[in-house]
Amino acid sequence: MRTNGYGVEDNIYQSFYIKIQLSNKLLRLKKKLDYFLKIDSKDFNPHISLFYGMKEFDVKNELIMRLTSPPKIIGLDRISIVSIEDDIESWEVLYSYPLIRRKSANMNLGRPV
């Protein structure tokens, strides 16, 4: 997947993240997931969360200025559908779809599932 810099929001689950560039393949996958899950979601913000919680925008923007840019391309080994409850410890992976057959030590970005 191609990245598109860092993103910040005033949202506990999208507080600080790496933005993922939209592509036709990703949009097709999203439509298939929506159909499978029988949902009609309009908002789609593909991202990799780096921080959950509430912090001021000034703090997050300062962090962006201090960090190097994220890698331009990120390889993922799976896509997972997760049931999200109150806190991270209660999240449950409902289904994982493998994207590659063999993992390498370099493919370890993001929250382990």
**pLDDT of amino acid 110:** 52
**pLDDT of amino acid 113:** 44
Instruction: Give residue-wise pLDDT tens across range 1-12.
Output: 899 999 999 888
Instruction: Give residue-wise pLDDT tens across range 102-111.
Output: 655 555 555 4
**pLDDT of amino acid 104:** 57
**pLDDT of amino acid 21:** 94
**pLDDT of amino acid 67:** 92
The mean pLDDT of the chain is: 83
Sorting pLDDT into bands at 50, 70 and 90, what band is 20?
Answer: very high
Q: What is the DSSP string of 30-86?
A: HHHHHHHHT--------EEEEE-S---HHHHHHHHHHSPPPPSB---SEEEEEE--S
Instruction: Give residue-wise pLDDT tens across range 58-98.
Output: 998 898 999 999 999 988 888 888 887 777 778 888 888 88
The residue whose two tokens read 């779809």 is 97
pTM above 0.85, yes or no: no
